[in-house]
Structure 1
Amino acid sequence: MSAVVAALRLARRNAWRSRGRSALIMVMIGLPVLVLTAILTLLETMSLTPQEGLVAQLGAADARLVQAPKGTVLQQQPNGASWSMNGGDDEAAAPELDAAKVAALLGPGTRLLPFSTGTLRLGTGQVDALETDLRDPLTRGMLTLSEGRLPAAGEVAVTPALGLRPGDLLRPSGAAPLRVVGVVEHPHRPSLRKAVGPDLPLTPLFWSPSEYGPGWLADTAKPVSWAEVPALNTAGLYVTSRATILDSPRGLVAFSVVNQQQTVGLGAMVIMVVLETVLLAGPAFAVGLRRRRRELAEIAAQGGSAGHLRTIVLADGVVLGGAATLVATVLGIGAGALGAPLVARWGGQVGPPGVPWAPVLGVAALGLITGLVAALVPAVQAARQNTAAVLAGRAPTVADRPGWPLAGAALVLAGLAATMVARRQGGSAWVLASAVLILFGLVVLTPWLVRCTGGPATRLRLPLRVAVRDAVRHRSRTVSAVAAVMAVTATVVAVGIGTQSEYMDRRNAYTSARPTGMLAIWGGTMTDGTWSKLRAETVRRLPGVPLAVGYQAKDAQGHRYALRYTVRWNGIRTPRTAAIGDQALLRLLQGRHDPQAAAALASGKAVVFDAAAVRDGKLTLRAGSTSGPARKLDVPAVLATPADEHQGGALLPRTLVEQAGFTTAERALYAMYRLPTDSMLERDLAKVTPRVTVASEEGYRNVPDPGLWAWLVGALVLVVGGTLAATRLAAADMRPERATMMAIGAPPGTLRLVVAGQSLYISGLGALVGLAAGTVTGVALSRPLTTHGAGDPATIAIPWPFMIAVVVGLPVLATVAALITRTRLPLAPRLL
């Protein structure tokens, strides 16, 4: 039997004999593998190729045609599509196509089925709707009937997410109730809320070829190829063809070339994950070495070499790491495949189960390597142990290497210097790479830091003094646990500072040209008669709401112009469009009556809310048009205070615009009014003319990333788990001292305090060192995350509750958990 096979057999037997420790090591190594594998499988399963989603999109049809709105210029290419509205008068648009004209475009033998998408307006809101006949064979496979029957005229089927059953009534606003006769399921979107029927009162909101619009499913005599698409686009039809989808590359994902920064960032993240896993699993492997020390000494006494001892301990890493990786990979694939339908119920889509084998196997190899590296230090210690001292029952002595503190300090200094350089580079990859240098340096410095804490321990109370002195004496097990807590804390603190800084920068960067709560209604290119109808409908829909008017600028040829300027807001070049209005609009923009601003506006000056935009009492504007030549204007301006601190923009008086050679026409309405959630104002105004825009200023709506606290949960598991593993090892090593304390009358509380003191020392020292390292990295990380060009200062924000929870809360929690450790020992016989 070879030495390797014998070592593997010994490792298997030892793992089974110490099942609790083996399970802990497997969890430490396997948890990252499981999480990464599950995420990769989940993403693969929830991503659909065009071929996989073909049946849900087209059913049995050869093509789907969506009619574009009047005046739309549409152009499709194999890599996408583009469309735009022309600048003509909406009253002069061409008539819509009918089914006969569309069938003629597709050739003889074509059969069309109406297939229109939109929304149903309900009493409390709206729901997506599909108007088609599901009984037609062309729709086969698009939706699956799970309960009841398919709808006929005056009936409707719904998806399960709507919560309706056959026999219930769906009550669209302004239309007759529809009886629900069936429940249908989408093959890939279980969370879809949709109603389907052959004659629904659809409410079109806006046109989108993949969302809303009238159209048809087509059964054609020959496939619809790309050669026929341009002619159909010219006729105003967006085409989704079975033939073009099947001819596209199947299952291919276009990966961009990985650049240098991406490679560095990915490598840094992999190194940090491996480092933290190794440091966390290190104390558990040290426990195994502590318990097998005599067994290994007996093997050495019978002729085993240092290499044999290293092989035996490394075999523990192979067996436990391999088993953990295998189990974690299988569980991760299962969790990702089974979890995809559950995640899709909250939103998204799900396809057939898929496993990205190349990344998954790479993660599995990383887990196996992690197990080997975690067992490397105990293997080296086993090869160097004094056989005679171990067989005599004496504790091994720990000799510090004098050059290691200098090497660690050099690595830390190099990492700090690299961080100072990396923070001024684009992207965060170089900062992460510098953080790896700092972490490695601190890991090398940890033995020296542990030794330095032994002197001040003399001033502590007895339980803490005994705990600290014992931790310093047994540095081989203490160092790995402290370094693990340090690495976890540093990573979480850096992520917390970077995430909070990015959130605060986004919040500071938010800006608007209108105060929060303002409703704006803009009319595009239209006649005065159409605008009069639109304004009358707005007044009817908003009774009693005071409206301020805004104006549109036109040149002598009738071309519409926008008057714009650019200002730097929070380091970002932000374009503004100046509004044209009177005193009523000024009061809305300022939220009060400002006599000075009102007087300036009355005298023909622009009122500006961006201080950086006014220079020498002038505001520089660029008058631009899609049809006429651009012009540059310098107009007199005064600064004023807006209603909100994040608000910018400018207001121009009509006289100033007309003096510049333009004419003005009323084309905007403003009001301080919040629309209710179920408001259909935009739909009602769109009935007058589609060239209307309704916008409500809601203010900054984003909240801090809740994932930040998920990092705290992960840190909780890692810090408390690693600390308790080291504490159990300390309790085993301190068995003689604790027995002596118990023999001379020490109460159980004192013994618990000694064990808890070990936990507090390990987690507290690791948290303090990790706080320093994480703060440096987090502050450096905030610069590439929050700067947007030269001269833009970085935003640095400290999430204090999160930091306190990590640096103070986790050590306290680990200490409390250690208090429940069993401390009562049987009295050992002693020779007098």
Structure 2
Amino acid sequence: MSAVRAALRIARRNAWRSRGRSALIMVMIGLPVLVITAMLTLTETMNVTPQEGLAAELGAADARLVQVPAGTVLHQQPNGTGWTTGGDAAAPRLSAAEVVELLGPGARLIPFSTGVLRLGSERVDARETDLRDPVTRGMRTLREGRFPTAGEVAVTPAIGLRPGDLLRPSGAAPLTVVGVVEHPHRPSLREVVGPDLPLAPSDASWSVFEYGTGWLADTAKPVSWTDVPALNKAGLFVTSRTMITARVPAAPFDVRYAVGIGAMVIMVALETVLLAGPAFAVGLRRRRRELAEIAAQGGSAGHLRTIVLADGLVLGGAAALVATVLGIGAGALGAPFVARWGGQVGAAAVPWAPVLGVAALGLIAGVVAALVPAVQAARQDTATVLAGRAPAVADRPGWPLAGAVLVLAGLGATVVAWRQPGSAWVWASAVLVMIGLVVLTPWLVRHTGRLAARLRLPLRVSVRDAVRNQSRTASAVAAVIAVTATVVAVGISTYSEYMDRRNAYTSARPTGMLAIWGGPMGDAAWNKLRAEAARQLPGVPLAAGYHAKDAQGHRYALRYTMRWNGIRTRRTAAIGDQALLRLLQGRHDPPAAAALASGKAVVFDPAALRDGKLALRASSTSGPPRKLEVPAVLATPADQHQGGALLPRALVEQAGFSTAERQLYAMYRPPADSTIWRDLAKVSSRVTVASEEGYRNVPDPSLWGWLGGALVLVVGGTLAATRLAAADMRPERATMAAIGAPPGTLRVIVAGQALYISGLGALVGLAAGMVTGVALSRPTTTHGAGDPATTAIPWPFVIAVVAGLPVLATVAALITRTRLPLTGRPRA
């Protein structure tokens, strides 16, 4: 213990003496710990559990009941929900008294509906309820003014209105803003709350978790799962306090998840060790004489190893402690600010198990980073060091072979992992490749250093110095390799997933088509709805679509099955005439029009045709299913990603069905302030209006966030290594200054080190990242048997990483101060 205590004391004294180097090492070790700890704390704070969000969801009520649309068959399960739509008969709407009777004596209801309010060119969420009622206590926090009464509203701060302002919903009378309220967990929410709001029809955008009409219930006894079936049968979706607070069983152990977490931990630890390694290597060279003197006084090789390892323990421990505290503070304080950009936030929470694990990882990384210098210190020749000669660096011929074997093994494992579901095994294989490249890096540095003879003098000095100080350079190059490979792999995987979603997008209608569907209704009601649609769309050609019914009046949907991206997909075939075909194709297609006129189906999905036939299944919620096989032809749709099929009325009627017009289609984009949804809903509540907008997703913006993270690590690690190199090269730089080299040449020497380190690391990392990225593209873009993988390379992103980061690191090093300290000349 006395030797360990003495080593720790020496390490503490040395850390204080070399404060600049110590701070640099602590930053390299602590930066990953700080970032990960902050992200863990931020995520935990922004993860609002159902139990924590109970007040915002239900207030003080015991349950929320949502009425489902007509014809909906609803069945809730304890571990989720399931429902199907499409019934013929309209389920009766319950009154509040009937719902109270279902809930039992002592129950009390207040209206509660959620939907959308149109404000000119935008749509905002709206909640129709009385916030003054004690049942809604805790749902919204009053920040300014008072809660609204009839004809009044309260708005969230994101709306930007104050008490006294007017809110002007489209197609409705203005509402007076009397209060500003805030969601307990969602500060960025744009919402309007009031007891009577002109909401959009709920059946058109119904969702049990978002939009719907219903009540909040204050009951005499808790609403449990035993009460749910009866309420479902009555057409009520139930969310109760008892159901939310029920204990959720723990998820089973997932091997692939554990492997993925392990691979991430290894990569983070490896990156930390590689970033801090050069600083420990430089520190060892500066302390060689001190260690040699300890050895000359009787210190053993074990004592020297302990002293150097104590440096890693002291600096790694201090860095982990400081970074953990700062990370927890940054995550907890940053969550409310991040939530204002989107998301939700709860009470500050720290996931102590992973946070302490990350701190321990930082401590271990500090010790491991000092391991190689510790071994070198134990092997140094005491007489050589005390004589002032540089010790010879022995090459290890077996290491390149071991590195090559690890790389080949990792590539083989990547090929095997490429065929496995999930990405965890690919990342595990990438770790094996990365470790092999780290072992190979000294060999790469030695052999690429042979190019120095062909370079100009400043760059030649830079490269030769980098090769001469192999341990420092190899560690920095390996760190850049690890960062570049990880970022390139993530970039290819993310972009491939985006391209797969874009290519897999399909619609039954061309972009820009407006569809108006009438539910179960008589001819008189449909004629009235059709007339209103024609009035709302003056001068816009309308194409008719038809519903199919059997002799008993049961409504049927004619669907066909096909494989799309490896998944069995069911599509509903439309029923129409030449006008609808022209809209679906965007032009007049004589062969397709002739086929439709002759009684054949026109199909836009090539995979649905078999020997000129289309297999259909006629299904109904109230009638027996039927199977049909009809003649069909393939045609080209208006849009590239458009699918679907069109059946002529004659073909459907030959199959024993009757047809009735219940659909309208038009190539029309409603303006932002259009009220066609509300106007048609006034005629019939069973109308649905949909506008095909096409594929709307954009590439994941986090891709460039990865580039920002790579910028910090690559430029920071490279600058750290070049600063150490600049300090190490003082004799050479002093010699060049003495013979008249200008300051610009000295800066070029330092920048040459940065270019060599970052350039070599980026090129090797590009190769490793491409392999991993291509392997990751398969599990992230395949969705079933027969679905080919989509591999897409984001070339601007890859070029920015591989070429941009070395350029930035070089420019940053070029503007680094290179002034040498003045040294006094001894007097004669």
Q: TM-score range by the shorter chain?
A: over 0.9
Q: Distance in 2 between matches of 1:263 and 1:462?
A: 51
Residue 524 in structure 1 maps to residue 519 in structure 2: yes
Does the C-alpha gap of structure 1 residues 235 and 583 become closer, same or farther in structure 2, counting only changes over 3 Å?
closer
1:73-109 CA distance string (max 9 Å, x none): 444454444455562344xx435313x4444444444
Provide the C-alpha distance between the structure 2 equivalents of 1:101 and 1:664, rounded to a whole number of angstroms: 37
Pick closer, same or farther for the CA change 1:24–1:307 going to 2, 3 Å: same
Q: Secondary structure of 1:738's partner?
A: helix
Q: Distance in 1 between matches of 2:235 and 2:492?
A: 51
- Residues 737 and 592 of structure 1, relative CA distance in 2, 3 Å threshold: same
Matching of residues 87-126 of structure 1 within 5 Å: 87-90=87-90, 93-98=91-96, 100-126=97-123
Alignment counterpart, residue 622 of structure 2, candidates 604, 623, 627 = 627
Instruction: Spell out the pairing of 1:140-539 with structure 2 (5 A cutoff).
Output: 140-206=137-203, 207-243=206-242, 245=244, 248-249=246-247, 254-539=249-534
8 Å Cα contact 1:398/1:476 also seen in 2: no
Change (3 A) 1:324 1:186: same
Secondary structure, counterpart of 1:389 in structure 2: helix
Conserved in 2, the CA contact under 8 Å of 1:89 and 1:526? no
Deviation for aligned residue 1:392: 2.6
Distance 1:144 1:613 in 2: 54
Amino acid at match of 1:139: T
**Shift in alpha-carbon separation, 1:682–1:708, aligned structure 2, 3 A:** same
Shift of 1:278: 0.9
Q: SS of 1:666's equivalent?
A: strand
**Contact residue 549 and residue 555 of structure 2 kept, 8 A:** yes
The question of whether the paired residues in 2 share the 8 Å contact of 1:89 and 1:527 is answered with: no
- Residues 730-751 of structure 1 show CA distances to partners (whole Å, capped at 9, x for unaligned) of 2223222222222222232222
CA contact (8 A) 1:294 1:390 kept: yes
1:547 deviates by: 0.8
Q: Secondary structure at the match of 1:381?
A: helix
Query: What is the RMSD computed on CA atoms of the aligned residues?
Result: 2.6
1:540 and 2:535 matched: yes
Instruction: Give deviations 1:433-464, integer Å, cap 9, x for gaps.
Output: 21111111111111111111233321222222
1:696 to 691, 699, 705: 691
Change over 3 Å in CA distance of 1:60–1:420 after alignment to 2 = closer
Once the two structures are superposed, residues 343-391 of structure 1 have per-residue CA deviations (whole angstroms, 9 ceiling, x without a partner) of: 2222332222222222222222222111111111111112222222222
Task: For residue 481 of structure 1, report the CA deviation from its aligned partner.
Answer: 1.0
Relative to structure 2, which stretch is displaced further, 544-553 or 200-209? 200-209
Contact 2:282 2:728 in 1 (8 A): no
**Corresponding residue SS for 2:403:** helix
Question: Does the 8 Å contact 1:113/1:216 carry over to 2?
Answer: yes
Aligned to 2:13: 13
Aligned-partner Cα distance in 1 for 2:702–2:119: 35
State how 1:715-726 maps to structure 2 within 5 Å: 715-726=710-721
Write the distance in 2 (CA, Å) between the matches of 1:154 and 1:496.
Answer: 52
Distance 2:134 2:341 in 1: 31
Q: Is the 8 A contact 1:310 1:383 kept in 2?
A: yes
Deviates more, 1:816-825 or 1:270-279: 816-825
* CA shift for structure 1 position 400: 0.8
Q: C-alpha distance in 2, partners of 1:625/1:426?
A: 37
User: 2-side partners of 1:86 and 1:503: how far apart?
Assistant: 33
Q: Displacement, 1:529?
A: 2.5
Q: Which residue number in structure 1 is paired with residue 3 of structure 2?
A: 3
Q: Which residue of 2 aligns with 1:729?
A: 724
- Does the C-alpha gap of structure 1 residues 171 and 627 become closer, same or farther in structure 2, counting only changes over 3 Å? same
Q: Matches of 1:617 and 1:235 in 2, distance apart?
A: 46
CA distance in 1 between counterparts of 2:632 and 2:195 reads: 59
Pair 1:546–1:757, CA change in 2 (3 A): same
Q: Distance in 1 between matches of 2:231 and 2:641?
A: 47
Query: 1:172/1:323 Cα in 2 relative to 1: closer, same or farther (>3 Å)?
Result: same
Unaligned runs of at least 5 residues, structure 1? none
Deviations 1:495-524 (A, max 9, x none): 122222222222111122221111122233
How far is the alpha carbon of 1:288 from its aligned partner? 2.0
8 A Cα contact 1:209 1:238, kept in partner? yes
Query: Partner of 2:483: helix, strand, or coil?
Result: helix
Q: For residue 59 of structure 2, what is the amino acid of its counterpart?
A: G
| Residue number among 575, 582, 587 corresponding to 1:587 in the alignment | 582
**2:29 alignment partner in structure 1:** 29
The corresponding residue for 1:48 is 48
Amino acid at match of 1:28: M
> C-alpha separation between the residues in 1 aligned to 2:256 and 2:624?
43
Give the secondary structure class of the aligned counterpart of 1:454: helix
Partner of 1:130: 127
- Secondary structure of 2:287's counterpart equals helix
Q: What displacement does 1:712 show? A: 1.2
Provide TM-score, normalisation by structure 2. 0.94
Q: SS in structure 2 opposite 1:619?
A: strand
Any conservation in 1 of the 2:559–2:616 contact (CA below 8 Å)?
A: yes
CA contact (8 A) 2:70 2:87 kept: no
Change (3 A) 1:513 1:358: same
Normalising by structure 1, we get a TM-score of 0.93
Within 2, Cα distance between the matches of 1:201 and 1:790? Answer: 48
Sequence identity (%): 82
- Spell out, residue by residue over 1:516-561, the C-alpha distance to the aligned partner (whole angstroms, 9 max, x if none): 1111222333322332222222212222211111122222232323
TM-aligned CA deviation for residue 49 of structure 1? 3.4
Q: State yes or no: 1:681 paired with 2:676.
A: yes
CA distance in 2, matches of 1:233, 1:639: 43
- CA distance in structure 2 between the aligned counterparts of 1:564 and 1:226, rounded to whole angstroms: 35
Corresponding residue of 1:650: 645
Query: CA offset at residue 266 of structure 1?
Result: 1.9
Q: 143-152 vs 761-770, which deviates more?
A: 143-152
1:644 is matched by which residue type in structure 2?
A: D
Shift of 1:403: 0.9
For the Cα contact (< 8 Å) 1:534–1:688, is it kept in 2? yes
Q: Give secondary structure in 1 for the equivalent of 2:130.
A: coil
Which one-letter code corresponds to 1:19 in the other structure? R
Name the amino acid aligned to 2:619: G
Rounded Cα–Cα distance in structure 2 between residues aligned with 1:58 and 1:786: 39
Secondary structure of the structure 2 residue equivalent to 1:677 = coil
Q: Is the CA contact (8 Å cut-off) linking 1:310 and 1:380 kept in structure 2? A: yes
Contact 1:562 1:623 (C-alpha < 8 Å) held by counterparts = yes
Cα shift readout 1:611-647 (whole Å, capped 9, x = no counterpart):
3333433333333333333333332222222212222
SS of residue in 1 equivalent to 2:669 = coil
Between the aligned partners of 1:106 and 1:792, the Cα distance in structure 2 is 49
Contact 1:739 1:827 in 2 (8 A): no
CA contact (8 A) 1:205 1:683 kept: no
Shift in alpha-carbon separation, 1:731–1:226, aligned structure 2, 3 A: closer
Segments of 5+ residues of structure 2 without an aligned counterpart are none
Cα shift at 1:475:
0.9
Task: Determine helix, strand or coil for the equivalent of 2:641.
Answer: coil
Deviates more, 1:552-561 or 1:667-676: 552-561
Where in structure 2 are the equivalents of 1:542-557 lying within 5 Å? 542-557=537-552
1:602 equivalent in alignment to 2:597: yes
- Distance in 1 separating the partners of 2:539 and 2:516: 16
Q: 1:704 to 1:235 in 2, by over 3 A?
A: closer
Q: In structure 2, do the counterparts of structure 1 residues 108 and 313 end up closer, same or farther at CA, with 3 Å as the change threshold?
A: same
Between stretches 328-337 and 368-377, larger displacement belongs to: 328-337
Distance 1:129 1:810, change over 3 A: closer
* 1:774 alignment partner in structure 2: 769
The 3-state SS of whatever aligns with 1:455 is helix
3-state SS in 2 of match to 1:275: helix
For 1:666, the equivalent position in structure 2 comes to 661
